[in-house]
Amino acid sequence: MKNKIAHFFIGSMLFGAVSLPAQVVNAAPPVASTWHAQSLWQAILNLLLFACIGVLAAIAGYKIFDKCTPGNLTKEILEHRNVAAAIIGAAVILGVCIIVAASMLG
């Protein structure tokens, strides 16, 4: 089946438009497993699962960034009330959240 489709595309590029064989036209699309929920409870379960993974990934990303940089970012934010450090911490958390969201969308 894949060879016939490949031959069709190669032939159409070399010789112009060609008609597809009937078995290629009537072929059903391949079925793939997805994260799409089939019921409301599955959707809620997926939501809770991804929310927990996202929060844990955001915390882990912040902690890893704090360990990789000099000084203590948490201490700077909470004790010294350093606004610049808070903005950096927020940017790290948002960056990790964007990555998690992109991975959920596929």
pLDDT of res. 11? 54
Mean pLDDT by 10 residues, the chain (106 residues): 54 53 60 75 91 92 94 93 95 92 81
Q: Extract the tokens encoding 37.
A: 């929920």
Question: How is 34-101 classified by DSSP, letter by letter?
Answer: -S--SSHHHHHHHHHHHHHHHHHHHHHHHHHHHHHSSS-HHHHHHTS--HHHHHHHHHHHHHHHHHHH
Residues 26, 70: one domain?
no
pLDDT of res. 103? 83
pLDDT of res. 36? 79
Residues 24, 48: one domain?
no
Total structural domains in the chain?
2
Residues 41, 88: one domain?
yes
Q: In which domain, by residue range, is 43 found?
A: 37-106
Residues 52, 89: one domain?
yes
CA atoms within 13 A on the CB side of 90: 7
pLDDT of res. 41? 94
pLDDT of res. 5? 56
